[in-house]
Amino acid sequence: MKLGAFSISLSVKDLQKSKDFYEKLGFVQMAGSIEHNYLIMKNGDHLIGLFQAMFDGNMLTFNPGWDQNAQNLESFDDVRDIQKHLKNQGVEIDKETDETTSGPAHIYLKDPDGNMILIDQHR
């Protein structure tokens, strides 16, 4: 199963303070804006999404169809196929997507310890 680009998505209290902190660790802004309450920060192949007042808690994020530079992959597993596979494996999906659609979609699930996982397809 190809899950695509991986990042950690952090729910932050002060986006500017978080941006300043991660820049000190060598991350640079790759996408997003303060005005839109989110930033995607990059250091080499490592991605951190900083989100202010958009969701509770932190989560692991996978983006089918993208590489670590948010470039389209030629071949990838669609989120609907990933959802079907996970359900066949007995994994509970907290928020499913409509399997009759195509294009952008996302699903949410939790690992055994309650950590949120977002599989978010943008194309």
Q: What is the DSSP string of 93-105?
A: EEE---TT--SSE
**Two structure tokens written together for 79:** 């989120």
CA distance 52 to 36: 9
Model confidence over 93-119: pLDDT tens digits? 999 999 999 999 999 999 998 999 999
- With tokens 């007042």, the residue in question is 53
For 40-76, how does the pLDDT look when each residue is reduced to its tens digit (9 = 90+)?
A: 999 999 999 999 999 889 999 999 999 998 899 999 9
Bridge partners of 66, per DSSP, are: 72
